[in-house]
A and B are shown apart, each in its own frame.
Chain A
Amino acid sequence: MTSPASASESAPHSDARNLPRTAVIVGGNRIPFGKAGGKYASASNQDMLTAAIDGLVARFGLAGRSVGAVAAGAVLKHSRDFSLTRESVLGSALSPSTPAYDLQLACGTGLEAAVQIAGKIALGQIDNGIAGGVDSASDAPIAVSEGLRKALLKANHAKTTPAKLRALASIRPVDLAPQSPRNTEPRTGLSMGEHQAITTKKWDISREAQDELAAASHHNLAAAWDNGFFDDLVTPFLGLARDQGLRPDTSVEKLAKLSPVFGKGEGATMTAGNSTPLSDGASVVFLAEQEWAQANNYPALAKVVDSEMAAVDYVSGDEGLLMAPAYAVPRMLARQGLTLADFDYYEIHEAFAGTVLSTLAAWESEDFARDRLGLDAPVGSIDRSKLNVNGSSLAVGHPFAATGGRIVASLAKQLHAAGPGTRGLISVCAAGGQGVVAILEAV
């Protein structure tokens, strides 16, 4: 867990505001996120990451050019993909002289990749770069979990489509926990959903609140697609032009009919509807130094102001598995001299509706502030109409490492539309009790 003391340990970072150069988000691209076993069933991580890069290259006229670095990763990796990003670059329209490397931070991979590229830019090591992530639940290394392996094999052997789907429907994100041959967190034996169920219960998050959040995610995403928000953020792939898991006509009533799948007994509230579906997809973000972008006629949507990581002791049960962002955000706010209310948009990754709501509840809690953060007052509450306004993972899907890039590009576009100086907060939880958060500000 993160003790109150560790909050002050972050003080040495306090010069983060005075970085030598400013990294801005130029734009992004992703492929529509597919359902596991859906349109991308036979696409590899490399296929998807390459497609995402190529769409970005076309949007920004980068064909045959190189960028300072490409950083990306995947959570579920085949051993053959030891150099996934570089291989994807070589297969893309970028110049072969573009350096690339892999990184991995569970569901925080995509955001951390963007933060790293922004850091390299800010330090003057590179002028521009691409950050991204990709994951395939369909093309996952079978060795990852027994549950998945069995389900996939069953689906594979099934003769009819319904039988295949039945087999695949039995898979849960938890079946794909990284580096784990079992469908559990290696140190607790609990699945991610089971972990979240404990947290959800602890924060007394109601089923209705979770279903409302899930319905809003679908409705917001549907509206964003309808009004063309994704026209310059997404490039179709393999016949899929919109996110496959999107259910525009879902409702709280419909979601209420689903049976809980995580947690036990009376108090179980987490269903397939308010938990992220297993997904396939890839996303990339193009970042550049602000003046370089201007000189080379690239748009500057928003700058990367700051980022923070945190980790909690979920093993002993001291804190919930997905609660690290609740610690990272207050530390980052303090460093920046900002409060939780100082944002125009909030992007809190919807691993589960319960994760988002537990995090918000923690920030509103005096006890949490005092006992966990060592603060006199609660972190604060947010205007819910500013939360995940163009939909989030519950509706879009969550190909683990691809989620960060999706959020960064979408939020940067939203902020740019809202005008210079507007601010956005990103919060992404990750397996292993970790979290990555960041602040973007429109330029």
Chain B
Amino acid sequence: MADLYTTITKNPFGKAVTSQLGLPQPSRLRRGRLMPTGPVVLGAIKGASVAADALEVLGQAHEQALVDAPGSRTEDENGRAQPPAYPGKVGALIVDASSATEIADLEQVRALVRPALKALEPSARLIIVGADVAADQGVEHSAITQALEGITRSLGKEMRKGGTANLVRIQRGVTGAALASTLSFLLEGRSAYVSGQPIVVGASESVCEVVNRPLEGQIVVVTGAARGIGAGIAETLARDGASIVAVDIPAAGDALAKVTNNLGGTALQLDITGPEAGQRIAEHVASRFGQQAKIYGIVHNAGITRDKLLANTDEQRWGSVLDVNLAAQLRINDVLLTPGLPGGLTDGGRIVGVASTSGIAGNRGQTNYAASKAGVIGVVHSLSGELNDREITVNAVAPGFIETEMTGKIPAATREFARRFNSVQQGGLPVDVAEAIGYFLDPASQAVSGQVLRVCGQSQIGA
């Protein structure tokens, strides 16, 4: 979808950059359920232990991070003081700053990160764990919380060779078990295209183990699954064990059948804007999986663009985008959330929306689209609280430039700019969006709700 490019080409700076030759060759990103090759090193500030606990839950060994202090430096041949050096390449650095409360504590973050930056392997990970501080917990503590985000976002931009930096904010009472799924996602190749982003983890008692096929036997509905990102979502979730109900408009039925047959799911040809859409989804599930069957998760991925300057937008262009991208999922959620409905959404289930960086930053010529995608973010904020009691989590991803058939049709120079103007200097793949969605769907992510995660390689747009 033409999320970013219109803005970019209209921007004189963007034009200059896109026409420049010799941009650095992007690294091949580590993807999938693969841990870093080198060791995971951990540094904790003021005795924080939650990150170490989470690594233990994951069965992931770690080493002690080196600290850059004046006393630990050595001089190089030119007489310059160098921080202590790691003996080999480092796969990931985790800084547990969840106990940081004062500005002075931030020095320790610096001291832990500096030595590692020189030793990071390609597609390395830098993960900072901080506290999610409520406004009434003191001004300085709040300042620290925000400062960690500034550090993370800057480090994301300093990382090289496909490395990423992300921040996990933990609420009070978060245990290693609750943090584990997020840490696992950020360490593994699944988060390849997520950088510079904060994720909040809440406290939750019912957290399951992190496993390889977390969705085994679970029914997951994916709308807009016939192609592009939706097809990628369906494939990735099927890899994680899900029984996919692949939904797309009847006119896309042949492509939908191919996707479905490749992953062994069932296809439902359905226009999600129809008044009966929610009912039809529930009926399909009840009839294919039995009257007792429930949907575990639904991914509202179907979306359209009808780009025009607002000056040229009529009610048709306006309405269709809002209906497909926003109103339809509200109606479907309403139906599927009906308690006791055969084929409805189970308590403890998952709702995942697909927003867009355009919904965060706005985009010239996409007022209708941005309205709908920002609306999806609003849904997450409201519905996540509302469904807390039923232990249903509600989250969204906000993709940036993702390589699909559609973005493949963008004029070459614009496309080249859009795909490079981010911290990993390349476009994302549908699987990157899918992995983030899989992380939200993971039963082990019970403590993650109300989040909007950008999957944009830390795109400069919409920041």
Measured CB to CB, the closest approach of chain B to A355, in angstroms, equals 31
Measured CB to CB, the closest approach of chain B to A326, in angstroms, equals 37
* Residue B338 is within 8 A (CB to CB) of chain A in the complex: no
* Residue A231 is within 8 A (CB to CB) of chain B in the complex: yes
Which of A57, A63, A235, A299 contacts B287, CB < 8 Å?
A299
Interface residues of A in 208-245 (CB under 8 A from B): 228, 230-232, 234-237, 241
From known contacts A64-B264, A231-B250, A236-B250, infer whether A297 and B288 are also in contact, taking CB-CB under 8 Å: yes
Residue count of chain B within 8 Å CB distance of chain A:
27
Contact B266 A59 (CB under 8 A): yes
**What's the Cα separation between A54 and B261 when bound, in Å?**
8
Residue of B nearest to A242 (CB): B251
* Residue B267 is within 8 A (CB to CB) of chain A in the complex: yes
Residues 123-155 of chain B, each 1 if its beta carbon lies under 8 Å from chain A, else 0: 000000000000000000000000000000000
Contact B254 A61 (CB under 8 A): no
* Residue B256 is within 8 A (CB to CB) of chain A in the complex: yes
Interface residues of B in 242-280 (CB under 8 A from A): 246, 250-254, 256-258, 260-271, 274
Most chain A CB inside 10 Å of its own CB: which residue of B246, B290, B293: B290
**What's the Cα separation between A63 and B256 when bound, in Å?**
13
Contact B256 A58 (CB under 8 A): yes
* Residue B289 is within 8 A (CB to CB) of chain A in the complex: yes
Complex interface: chain A residues within 8 A of B288 (CB): 60-61, 297-298
Complex interface: chain A residues within 8 A of B261 (CB): 54, 57-58, 63, 93
Complex interface: chain A residues within 8 A of B256 (CB): 58, 235
Measured CB to CB, the closest approach of chain B to A144, in angstroms, equals 29
Contact A234 B266 (CB under 8 A): no
Residue count of chain A within 8 Å CB distance of chain B:
23
Measured CB to CB, the closest approach of chain A to B239, in angstroms, equals 15
Residues 274-300 of chain B, each 1 if its beta carbon lies under 8 Å from chain A, else 0: 100000000000011110010000000
* Residue A394 is within 8 A (CB to CB) of chain B in the complex: no
Contact A54 B258 (CB under 8 A): yes
Residue of B nearest to A294 (CB): B290
Query: How many residue pairs bridge A and B at CB < 8 Å?
Result: 71
Which of B254, B265, B266, B293 contacts A51, CB < 8 Å?
B254
* Residue A55 is within 8 A (CB to CB) of chain B in the complex: yes
Contact A228 B266 (CB under 8 A): no
Complex interface: chain A residues within 8 A of B293 (CB): 297
**What's the Cα separation between A61 and B266 when bound, in Å?**
4
Residue of A nearest to B265 (CB): A61
Residue of B nearest to A56 (CB): B257
**What's the Cα separation between A281 and B411 when bound, in Å?**
39
Contact B269 A232 (CB under 8 A): yes
From known contacts A228-B274, A297-B287, A297-B290, infer whether A236 and B254 are also in contact, taking CB-CB under 8 Å: yes
Residue of B nearest to A62 (CB): B261
From known contacts A236-B251, A297-B290, infer whether A63 and B260 are also in contact, taking CB-CB under 8 Å: yes
Residue of A nearest to B244 (CB): A61
Complex interface: chain B residues within 8 A of A93 (CB): 261-262
Contact A235 B264 (CB under 8 A): no
Residue of B nearest to A232 (CB): B269
Complex interface: chain B residues within 8 A of A58 (CB): 246, 256-258, 260-261, 265-267
From known contacts A63-B264, A228-B274, A299-B287, infer whether A57 and B257 are also in contact, taking CB-CB under 8 Å: yes
Residue of B nearest to A93 (CB): B261
Complex interface: chain B residues within 8 A of A237 (CB): 254
Contact A234 B274 (CB under 8 A): no
Contact A55 B250 (CB under 8 A): no
**What's the Cα separation between A61 and B246 when bound, in Å?**
10
Residue of B nearest to A27 (CB): B287
Which of B257, B264, B268, B274 contacts A55, CB < 8 Å?
B257
**What's the Cα separation between A54 and B255 when bound, in Å?**
11
Complex interface: chain A residues within 8 A of B289 (CB): 297
Complex interface: chain B residues within 8 A of A59 (CB): 257, 266-267
Measured CB to CB, the closest approach of chain A to B283, in angstroms, equals 9
From known contacts A58-B267, A228-B274, A299-B287, infer whether A236 and B253 are also in contact, taking CB-CB under 8 Å: yes
Most chain A CB inside 10 Å of its own CB: which residue of B254, B288, B293: B254
Complex interface: chain B residues within 8 A of A51 (CB): 254
Contact A60 B252 (CB under 8 A): no
**What's the Cα separation between A230 and B290 when bound, in Å?**
23
Complex interface: chain A residues within 8 A of B260 (CB): 58, 61, 63
**What's the Cα separation between A176 and B271 when bound, in Å?**
39
**What's the Cα separation between A236 and B264 when bound, in Å?**
20
**What's the Cα separation between A51 and B262 when bound, in Å?**
14
Contact B266 A231 (CB under 8 A): no
Residues 42-71 of chain A, each 1 if its beta carbon lies under 8 Å from chain B, else 0: 000000000100110111110110000000
Contact B269 A63 (CB under 8 A): no
**What's the Cα separation between A80 and B274 when bound, in Å?**
45
Complex interface: chain A residues within 8 A of B266 (CB): 58-61
**What's the Cα separation between A65 and B293 when bound, in Å?**
21
Residue of A nearest to B251 (CB): A241
Interface residues of A in 273-321 (CB under 8 A from B): 297-299
Residues 66-86 of chain B, each 1 if its beta carbon lies under 8 Å from chain A, else 0: 000000000000000000000
Contact A235 B253 (CB under 8 A): yes
Residues 149-189 of chain B, each 1 if its beta carbon lies under 8 Å from chain A, else 0: 00000000000000000000000000000000000000000
**What's the Cα separation between A293 and B252 when bound, in Å?**
28
Contact B254 A234 (CB under 8 A): no
Contact B290 A234 (CB under 8 A): no
**What's the Cα separation between A241 and B254 when bound, in Å?**
9
Measured CB to CB, the closest approach of chain A to B221, in angstroms, equals 14
Measured CB to CB, the closest approach of chain B to A394, in angstroms, equals 23
**What's the Cα separation between A178 and B253 when bound, in Å?**
32
Residue of B nearest to A54 (CB): B257
Contact A235 B290 (CB under 8 A): no
Measured CB to CB, the closest approach of chain A to B376, in angstroms, equals 26
**What's the Cα separation between A232 and B262 when bound, in Å?**
19
Complex interface: chain B residues within 8 A of A61 (CB): 260, 264-266, 288
Contact B262 A234 (CB under 8 A): no
Most chain A CB inside 10 Å of its own CB: which residue of B260, B263, B271, B290: B260
Contact A55 B265 (CB under 8 A): no
Complex interface: chain B residues within 8 A of A57 (CB): 257, 261
**What's the Cα separation between A246 and B11 when bound, in Å?**
49
Residues 117-146 of chain A, each 1 if its beta carbon lies under 8 Å from chain B, else 0: 000000000000000000000000000000
Measured CB to CB, the closest approach of chain A to B267, in angstroms, equals 4
**What's the Cα separation between A216 and B263 when bound, in Å?**
42
Contact A235 B274 (CB under 8 A): no
Measured CB to CB, the closest approach of chain B to A288, in angstroms, equals 13
**What's the Cα separation between A299 and B265 when bound, in Å?**
16
Residue of B nearest to A31 (CB): B254
Measured CB to CB, the closest approach of chain B to A241, in angstroms, equals 4
**What's the Cα separation between A241 and B251 when bound, in Å?**
5
Contact B262 A235 (CB under 8 A): no
Contact B269 A235 (CB under 8 A): yes
**What's the Cα separation between A235 and B265 when bound, in Å?**
16
**What's the Cα separation between A230 and B260 when bound, in Å?**
19
Complex interface: chain A residues within 8 A of B246 (CB): 58
Please name the 10 residue pairs, one residue from A and one from B, whose CB atoms are nearest each other, closest first.
A58-B257, A93-B261, A58-B267, A61-B266, A58-B260, A235-B253, A63-B261, A241-B251, A63-B264, A299-B287
List 15 A-B residue pairs with CB atoms under 8 Å apart, sorted by A's residue number: A51-B254, A54-B261, A58-B246, A59-B257, A59-B266, A61-B264, A61-B265, A63-B263, A93-B262, A235-B256, A236-B250, A236-B252, A236-B253, A241-B250, A297-B288
8 new A-B pairs (CB below 8 Å) besides A58-B266, A232-B269? A55-B253, A55-B267, A58-B256, A63-B265, A230-B250, A231-B270, A241-B253, A297-B288
